[in-house]
């Protein structure tokens, strides 16, 4: 298998930390061993929740990283502007776990201006520099294939720009989240929820899909949803490569977990708390628990909390809750390993949070408040990774915690995850699968060009 020169375009890359960077960092880590000479085009000053410089140690020296400046604002300043233009109002609906609908009423002038300027998201300010840098690297480094990862969804605007200049270059879009059905409402910035922004998003995705060589989704439900929007495109254009966990970073929990000697129950949540993981139903359920369960329970949240109202809701739990804030990956995983259960909240029926795979790979039993018809629930059951209740089912979530408290010595017998299936989600295994896909796409493109050349000679 001849070496393949691949350009990976990603807004987030180490030393940026957080769940969103793990997929691309694992590809950069494992691709070189799979016959891929990798160039990474990323930002020098990404607006990020936190940084984890230890992640840089996992990137092989042979990976060439190109960093450019972006006009995107620093994370803290951007949050301040968001609060300013919203007049202090929440950026989504009430704490119900439901996606927000279109904003009511006319937006103010500043908001309208930002909606028009920052479509489809604030990271679109990187696009002019990104386009010039990508064109230069493709030529100078003899790139055979471009892999563009989103979100931010403004990255996919690069596809049409490259296609005009490189008509035969294989371009693959990696959708870490499905965009139009759920993410637009659940995770988009305030500026991009207008009707005009929604129409722009539909047109942008349609153009990107039409001009791309292949589309990769991270869940089968998301792959089907994206594919259904474009029935004229061939089925072979749409692929699935799920997210996973890094077995070299996780210290797997004992196969027979037991209760703490003091009878306490520590439940740990790792990741950002935002609209897709907002805690309203969880808070209501925990507040209604019997007093004897409350006295034993500690909920530890590790990660950024997107909005003040989410923090205020969690603080209603008083001494039962600990808000740790963002931690580098190795510290977050160490804390996860000390816990009795890990907590999962997901209101999204299509997308599966990256933390799910770390939870499953770490071997800790999951307590999940998840969409009852979603991919997360399906995977949780398939891998036997824990127990779940519906994300809006307050009584069900309450019973989830009562059952956890009652298990005690029986936890070891009741929690029997399917470790063989879980092992299929190791990042190294998935990177090997991804590499085979890229080699196949590039070879197919070369074959088509060769056939066209032969037909032209005739």
DSSP 22-78: HHHHHHHHHGGGGTEEEEEEEESS---S-B-GGGGGGS-TTSEEEEE---PPPHHHH
Across the chain, mean pLDDT equals 87
First to last CA, the chain: 30
Supply the angle between the helices 355-362 and 375-382 in degrees, to the nearest 10: 10
Q: Of 382, 458, 434, 301, nearest to 26 (Cα)?
A: 434
SS3 state at 182: helix
Give the Cα separation of 296 and 82 in Å (integer).
39
Q: Is the peptide bond before 15 cis (omega within 30 degrees of 0)?
A: yes
Tokens of 3: 């070496």
Lowest mean pLDDT among 49-58, 80-89, 272-281, 368-377: 80-89
pLDDT band for position 409 (50/70/90)?
Answer: confident
Q: In what helix (H) or strand (E) does residue 412 lie, and over which residues does it extend? A: helix 411-414
pLDDT tens-digit series, residues 104-138:
445 566 566 666 667 888 899 999 999 999 999 99
Residue 90 has pLDDT above 70, yes or no: no
- Beta-carbon-side half-sphere exposure of residue 69 (alpha carbons within 13 Å): 1
Tokens of 379: 């995977």
**Domain 265-421 is in which class?**
alpha beta
The pTM of this model reads: 0.87
Residue 148 has pLDDT above 90, yes or no: yes
> Are domains 4-244+426-457 and 265-421 of this chain identical in fold?
yes
Residue 96 has pLDDT above 80, yes or no: no
pLDDT band for position 239 (50/70/90)?
Answer: very high
SS3 state at 366: strand
pLDDT tens-digit series, residues 173-223:
999 999 998 877 766 444 556 788 889 999 999 999 999 999 999 999 999
Structure confidence at residue 231 (pLDDT): 97
Give all strands of the β-sheet with 297-302 in edge-to-edge order.
321-325, 297-302, 265-270, 341-346, 366-370, 386-390
pLDDT band for position 458 (50/70/90)?
Answer: low
Structure confidence at residue 412 (pLDDT): 83
Residue 99 has pLDDT above 50, yes or no: no
- Domain borders along the chain are 4-244+426-457, 265-421
**Domain 4-244+426-457 CATH (choose: 3.30.1300.10, 1.20.120.790, 3.40.50.300, 3.40.50.2000):** 3.40.50.2000
pLDDT tens-digit series, residues 412-455:
889 999 999 999 999 999 999 999 999 999 999 988 887 777 77
Supply the angle between the helices 109-117 and 195-211 in degrees, to the nearest 10: 0
Task: Compute the average pLDDT of residues 260-275.
Answer: 88
- 2, with CB counted inside 10 A (0-12, 13-18, 19+), is exposed
């Amino acid at each position: 298998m001849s070496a393949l020169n691949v350009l990976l375009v990603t807004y987030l890359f180490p030393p940026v930390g957080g769940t969103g960077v793990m997929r691309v960092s694992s590809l950069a880590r494992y691709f070189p061993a799979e016959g891929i000479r990798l160039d990474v085009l990323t930002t020098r000053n990404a607006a990020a929740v936190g940084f984890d410089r230890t992640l840089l140690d996992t990137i092989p020296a042979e990976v060439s990283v190109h960093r450019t400046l972006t006009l995107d604002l620093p994370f803290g300043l951007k949050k301040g502007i968001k609060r300013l233009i919203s007049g202090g109002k929440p950026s989504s609906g009430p704490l119900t776990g439901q996606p927000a609908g279109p904003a009511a009423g006319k937006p103010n002038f500043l908001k309208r201006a930002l909606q028009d300027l920052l479509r489809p998201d604030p990271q679109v300010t990187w696009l002019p520099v990104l386009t010039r840098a990508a064109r230069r690297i493709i030529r100078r480094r003899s790139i055979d294939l471009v892999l563009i990862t989103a979100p931010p969804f403004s990255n996919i605007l690069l596809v049409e720009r490259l296609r005009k200049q490189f008509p035969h270059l294989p371009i693959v879009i990696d959708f870490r989240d499905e965009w139009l059905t759920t993410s637009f409402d659940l995770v988009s910035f305030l500026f991009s929820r207008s009707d005009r922004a929604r129409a722009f998003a539909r047109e942008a995705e349609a153009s990107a899909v039409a001009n791309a060589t292949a589309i990769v989704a991270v869940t089968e439900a998301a792959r089907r949803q994206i594919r259904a929007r474009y029935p004229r495109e061939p089925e072979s254009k749409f692929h699935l490569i799920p997210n996973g966990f890094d077995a070299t970073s996780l210290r797997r929990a004992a196969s027979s977990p037991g209760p703490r000697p003091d009878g306490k129950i520590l439940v740990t949540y790792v990741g950002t708390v935002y609209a897709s993981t907002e805690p309203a139903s969880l808070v209501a359920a925990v507040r209604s628990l019997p007093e004897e369960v409350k006295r034993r329970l500690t909920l530890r949240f590790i990660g950024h909390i997107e909005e003040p109202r989410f923090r205020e809701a969690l603080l209603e739990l008083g001494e039962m809750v600990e808000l740790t804030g963002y931690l580098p990956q190795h510290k977050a995983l160490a804390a996860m390993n000390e816990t009795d259960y890990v907590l999962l909240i997901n209101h999204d029926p299509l997308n599966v949070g990256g933390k799910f795979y770390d939870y499953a790979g770490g071997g800790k039993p999951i307590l999940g408040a998840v969409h009852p018809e979603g991919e997360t629930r399906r995977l949780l059951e398939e891998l036997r990774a824990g127990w779940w209740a519906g994300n809006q089912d307050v009584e069900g979530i309450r019973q989830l915690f009562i059952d956890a408290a009652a298990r005690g010595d029986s936890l070891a017998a009741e929690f029997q995850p399917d470790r063989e299936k879980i092992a299929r989600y190791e990042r190294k295994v998935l990177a090997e699968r991804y590499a085979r896909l890229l080699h196949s796409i590039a070879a197919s493109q070369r074959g088509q060009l060769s056939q066209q050349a032969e037909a032209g000679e005739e």
